[in-house]
Chains A and B, each alone.
Chain A
Amino acid sequence: MPRASATDPRFAEIESHRPYLVRYALAQLRDGELAEEAVQEALVAALESIDGFDKRSTLRTWLTSILRFKVIDLQRRLVADRARTQYDEATVGAEHEAWLDEMFDDTGHWRSPPQAWNDPEAALEQSRFWEVFERCLGRLSSTGGRVFFKREVLGEETDVICRDEGITQSNCWVMLHRARIALRMCLEQSWFGTEAPRGR
């Protein structure tokens, strides 16, 4: 993928927000290639108009506002495709139960019990934690990751997410539940597990 003028010293700073912006675009567009396209266009536009950036907002907020317009453009192309996404209620439910069978034993106990995390607040201050967080988000299934991102990161209401995704409320809940379990497990394995005391 072509990158905007990489010699610009502000390039690296803008570029560092790319993973977040891709997630944002993905949450809206539901298409990896389109999301990358929207972000690429937004970053190029940002570099071209960086002088117009006033420090009253954070760089991320400013970049997101540019991206939002790119996303709206691309969404127009997607309108015709919206109705094609259909999830079968029973299939999702059965698949979810099968996944939970791997998380819990026959008596319903955690196979990988959640540990007490040591000072999670401190992690929020560490840039390495956010790399891990980003990576763990990326490991979620595409639909689950998108639903989780809309719900928890963007703070959208669950019924709005269900409607936009074309899925039932109970499937929405199921996907969020699964995403939360998967994310907490990933963070425990990749971050907290290495230093947290083993509370059990």
Chain B
Amino acid sequence: MAADEPEDLNCRNASRLLSLACERPLNAEELRALKHHLDECLMCTNFEQQLNFLHKASRVFRTG
């Protein structure tokens, strides 16, 4: 699932990569494009932190 705009990710594609990173390691190009986007986008940075939180909360949810 390569990004459509490797040079200039928009939030739609950046969020897709952030979610994809939970499933498989991103390749170098994906990582570079994502980092470039996150450096400038607070909204997607928030989204990244929320994904981490969802992951953690789900595990806590399991153990009760």
Chain A contacts to B: CB under 8 angstroms: 17, 20, 58-61, 100, 103-104, 107-110, 113-117, 120, 123-124, 130, 133, 148, 151-155, 158, 170, 172-173, 176-177, 180-181, 183-184, 187-188, 199-200
- Asked if A155 and B43 sit within 8 Å, CB to CB, the answer is no
CA distance A184 to B50 in the complex (A): 7
Specify which of A115, A120, A124, A173 is in contact with B19 (CB 8 Å cutoff). Answer: A173
- Do residues A60 and B64 form an inter-chain contact, with CB atoms below 8 A? yes
Contacts known (A109-B10, A114-B50, A199-B42); A20 close to B23, Cβ less than 8 A: no
9 contacts between A and B (CB under 8 A): A61-B64, A113-B43, A117-B49, A133-B57, A152-B58, A173-B19, A173-B23, A181-B15, A183-B54
Are B55 and A152 touching (Cβ within 8 A)? Answer: yes
Docked complex: B15-62 residues within 8 A CB-CB of A:
15-16, 19-20, 22-24, 42-44, 46-47, 49-51, 53-62
Task: Please tell me the size bucket of the interface on B.
Answer: 20 to 34
A contacts with B: majority SS: helix
The reply to whether A130 and B23 form a contact with Cβ atoms under 8 Å apart is no
**Contacting residues, chain A, for B43 (C-beta < 8 A):** 110, 113-114, 200
* Contact residues in A for B60 (Cβ distance below 8 Å): 124
